[in-house]
């Protein structure tokens, strides 16, 4: 949370804090601690359940301290439960979708923020609005469009775009471009126009201005947005649910929909599956916390 | 990053797109653009071609996969179709809407649940997030640890949150019934299964995530409030509560607007969590879930599903248009 650190603590603020420091902060700490414990209980309970073998919970009950702890449930979910496959599917969808989103959005943002053109604002409004729509509004037409688009069976075994990664990647990209364009165009507007003016004098074309000058300067914004988009698309539940029918192609977030049926009320395995789904986001959060938090506040427009 | 982080949250002070110099945001460099033709003056034919591709490709994707389907949804809502052969699409006038409003039992419960969801997020989750942000904005020990804890659910998908809370809420194996002392007795509640309580249980789970998100945005917003405002208020003898409600909170207006919009849109988009619990049936009906129930499965009724989608669209347009006017209103007038 270092991005949130207060840079200039005002003297009055500090005085107020020290004035109030005895009793009031005591109460604040109690409140925050109670809230924090309540916040952690659901996650802690899942982790605890996941670490215990089903035999032990059957014997002692779920709410008990007896028995052993192991990663057996994780191993079983990973191998027999197909979580290795689901995670791979998530990677195959998330990586191209994020790269395409950032690529298209940065081109669009460059065009609307660095070049004067009559329809700049119209386009930007269209892109921003598109991102705010509930996805269910577009579900039926997209599903039918993909279903009725015939493709050779060598390309897709369904004979159309359904049940392919491409369908999910395309719609995720289209949906996220709006948000990224909005954020990046604000960022690019803030860059001095002298930068590209100088390049123009040197005879640099539009593409070189974009690729060699503007884009490298947007690296912090791209890093923040990239981290955020990885989490958004990894967490996307709806589009794979709609487009992908065969279970072994589902990404992990949508695959947890089938956990109950698949593991037949084996809550220990379900909990292990949930924890596996959480691990990649946790790693990204710990490694790229700054980018993620910056991205979220950058995108406080996000619906 | 912290300077840019405030930018989208402060749409009021965005520089005009046509190079109009706006006050505020000293770092934006907006004033350096002299006039209408300021940014790129001479475009060669090649540049124009490159630009056409740079604009055209994303626009085409956006039109084809977002706006065209939206129009199709509207068109399909006035037809009768089973989703099989395109030739079977029959005009149906407003029959689908009449059916949804008059003869479709889950529709009004779903409307009520969506409104309840919004009210719950607006009155419980959002103020809770604001309260956490205000408390954590003070210089208290362990603030970062608290922040990290409250923030953790924001990284999770609502689908995963549904699974995690299911484990917590289960009748026989869940922790909550043990803590209440009802586990194993007939009084044990199936929190996600009992149609009297499951909407509340689901909203509590959604609050778990929403409050953390609101906290994060308000923490950023609070950092952006000019410290001299608080100083002036305390010199005038205002106490902490007065200072907050009369000075600090109004000063965060851009963040407040963003949070109002997010809260409304989140409550309209609520889908994943109810779908993973029971596909949005038995007490958990939401408009978004009804749309999908009518599109997939055996009895595909595309027309009815589309009518529901259009109703969802029309309601969503209210916060979307409000937000767009706030964000782009000044620019397009310039």
- Look at residue B299 in the predicted model and tell me its pLDDT: 60
Tell me which chain A residues have a C-beta less than 8 angstroms from the C-beta of B165.
42
Contacts with A, B 175-234, CB within 8 Å: 175, 178, 183, 205, 208, 213, 216-217, 219-220, 223, 227-228, 230-231, 234
Q: What is the pLDDT of residue A11?
A: 41
Q: Which residue has the higher pLDDT, B39 or A43?
A: A43
- Measured distance CA(A114)–CA(A199) in Å, rounded: 13
Sign, CA torsion B312/B314/B315/B316: positive
Q: Which residues of B touch A4 (CB under 8 A)?
A: 147, 219-220, 223
Q: Do A296 and B213 touch (CB under 8 A)?
A: yes
Q: How far is A88 from A245, CA to CA, in rounded Å?
A: 17
pLDDT mean over A176-180: 91
What pLDDT, on the 0 to 100 scale, is given for residue B297? 62
**What pTM does this model have?**
0.83
Q: Are the Cβ atoms of B4 and A221 closer than 8 angstroms?
A: yes
- What per-residue string of b and e applies to A215-252 under the rule 16 or more CB within 10 Å gives b? beebeebbbbbbbbbbbbbbbbbbbbbbbbeeeebbbb
Of A59 and A45, more confident: A45
**Is it the case that residue A171 has pLDDT exceeding 90?**
yes
Find the DSSP H helices in A65-137.
72-79, 83-114, 120-132
What are the start-end ranges of the H helices in chain B? 2-5, 45-62, 68-76, 95-98, 107-120, 126-137, 143-151, 158-169, 175-179, 198-223, 227-235, 240-242, 249-251, 253-269, 272-278, 287-295, 302-333
pLDDT of res. B108: 92
What is the tens place of the pLDDT at every residue in A79-92?
Answer: 888 888 999 999 99
pLDDT at A17: 44
Hey, is the C-beta of B134 within 8 angstroms of any chain A C-beta? no
- How do the pLDDT tens digits run along chain B, 334 residues long? 333 333 333 333 333 333 333 333 334 333 334 444 444 456 788 888 888 888 899 999 999 999 999 999 999 899 888 777 777 788 888 888 988 888 888 899 999 999 999 999 999 999 999 999 998 888 788 888 898 899 889 889 999 999 899 888 887 777 888 887 777 777 778 888 788 888 999 999 999 999 999 998 898 888 888 888 888 888 888 888 888 888 888 888 888 888 888 899 888 888 999 998 888 888 888 999 989 888 876 566 888 889 999 999 999 999 899 888 888 876 554 4
How high is the pLDDT of residue A115? Answer: 79
pLDDT (tens digit per residue) in A105-162: 999 999 888 877 778 888 888 888 988 899 999 988 998 888 888 777 777 777 788 8
Which pLDDT score, from 0 to 100, does residue A24 have?
57
Q: Is A166 helix (H, G, I), strand (E, B) or coil?
A: helix
Q: pLDDT confidence of A300, banded at 50, 70, 90?
A: low
The residues facing B90 across adjacent strands are: B80
DSSP string computed for A180-195:
HHHHHHHHHHTS-THH
| C-alpha span between B215 and A297 (Å, rounded) | 11
ipTM score assigned to the predicted complex: 0.83
| pLDDT of A86 | 92
B64 touches chain A (CB under 8 A): yes
Contact B216 A14 (CB under 8 A): no
Determine the average pLDDT of the residues in A222-246: 90
Determine contact: B163 vs chain A, CB below 8 A.
yes
For residue A50, pLDDT over 90 is answered with: no
Which of the residue ranges A10-14, A128-132, A182-186, A250-254 would you say has the lowest mean pLDDT?
A10-14
Q: Do B323 and A299 touch (CB under 8 A)?
A: no
Of B39, B67, B268, the CB nearest to A116: B39
pLDDT for position B65 = 92
Q: Average per-residue pLDDT in chain A? A: 82
Mean pLDDT of A248-254: 89
Confidence category of residue A16, pLDDT binned at 50, 70, 90? very low
């Amino acid at each position: 949370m270092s991005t949130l650190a207060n840079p200039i603590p005002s003297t009055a603020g500090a005085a107020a804090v020290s004035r109030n420091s005895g009793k009031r902060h005591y109460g604040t700490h109690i409140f925050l601690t109670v809230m924090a414990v309540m916040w952690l209980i659901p996650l802690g309970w899942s982790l605890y359940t996941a670490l215990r073998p089903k035999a032990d919970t059957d014997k002692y009950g779920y709410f008990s301290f007896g028995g052993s702890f192991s990663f057996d449930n994780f191993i079983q979910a990973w191998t027999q439960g197909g979580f290795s496959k689901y995670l791979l599917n998530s990677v195959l969808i998330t990586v191209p979708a994020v790269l395409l989103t950032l690529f298209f959005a940065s081109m669009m943002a460059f065009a609307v923020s660095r070049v004067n053109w009559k329809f700049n604002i119209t386009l930007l409004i269209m892109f921003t609005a598109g991102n705010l729509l509930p996805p269910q509004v577009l579900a039926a037409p997209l599903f039918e469009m993909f279903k009725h688009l015939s493709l050779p069976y060598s390309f897709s075994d369904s004979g159309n775009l359904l049940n392919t990664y491409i369908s999910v990647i395309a719609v995720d990209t289209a949906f996220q471009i709006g948000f990224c364009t909005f954020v990046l165009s604000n960022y690019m507007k803030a860059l001095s126009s002298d930068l590209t003016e100088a390049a123009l004098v040197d005879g640099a074309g539009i593409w070189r201005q974009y690729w060699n000058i503007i884009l490298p300067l947007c690296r912090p914004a791209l890093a923040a947005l990239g981290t955020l988009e990885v989490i958004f698309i990894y967490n996307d539940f709806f589009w794979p649910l709609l487009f992908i029918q065969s279970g072994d192609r589902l990404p992990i977030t949508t695959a947890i929909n089938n956990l109950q049926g698949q593991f037949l009320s084996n809550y220990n395995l379900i909990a292990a599956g949930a924890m596996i789904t959480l691990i990649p986001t946790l790693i990204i959060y710990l490694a790229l916390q700054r980018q993620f938090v910056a991205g979220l506040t950058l995108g406080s427009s996000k619906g | 990053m912290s300077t840019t982080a405030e930018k989208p949250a402060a749409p009021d002070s965005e520089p005009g797109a046509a190079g109009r110099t706006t006050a505020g945001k000293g770092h934006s460099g907006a004033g350096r653009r002299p006039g209408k033709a300021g940014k790129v003056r001479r475009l060669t034919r090649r540049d124009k071609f490159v630009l056409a591709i740079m604009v055209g490709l994303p626009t085409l994707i956006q039109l084809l996969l977002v706006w065209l389907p939206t129009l199709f949804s509207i068109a399909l809502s006035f037809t009768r179709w089973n989703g099989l052969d395109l030739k079977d699409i029959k005009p149906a006038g407003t029959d689908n809407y009449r059916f949804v409003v008059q003869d479709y039992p889950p529709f009004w419960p779903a409307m009520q649940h969506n409104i309840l969801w919004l009210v719950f997020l607006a009155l419980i989750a959002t103020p809770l997030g604001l309260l956490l942000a205000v408390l954590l904005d003070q210089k208290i020990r362990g603030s970062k640890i608290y922040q990290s804890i409250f923030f953790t659910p924001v990284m999770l998908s609502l689908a995963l949150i549904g699974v995690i809370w299911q484990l917590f809420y289960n009748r026989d194996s869940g922790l909550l019934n043990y803590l209440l002392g009802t586990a194993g007795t007939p009084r044990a509640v199936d929190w996600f299964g009992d149609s009297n309580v499951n909407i509340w249980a689901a909203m509590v789970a959604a609050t778990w995530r929403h409050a953390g998100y609101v906290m994060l945005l308000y923490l950023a917003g609070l950092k952006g409030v000019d410290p001299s405002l608080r100083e002036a208020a305390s010199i005038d003898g205002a106490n902490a509560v007065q200072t907050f409600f009369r000075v600090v909170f109004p000063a965060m207006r851009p963040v407040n607007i963003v949070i109002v919009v997010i809260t409304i849109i989140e409550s309209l988009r609520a889908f994943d969590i109810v779908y993973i619990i029971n596909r949005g049936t038995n007490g958990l009906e939401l408009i978004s879930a009804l749309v999908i129930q009518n599109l997939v499965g055996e009895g595909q009724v595309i027309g009815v599903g589309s009518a529901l989608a259009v109703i969802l669209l029309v309601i969503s347009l209210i916060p979307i248009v409000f937000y767009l006017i706030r964000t782009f209103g000044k620019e397009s007038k310039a």
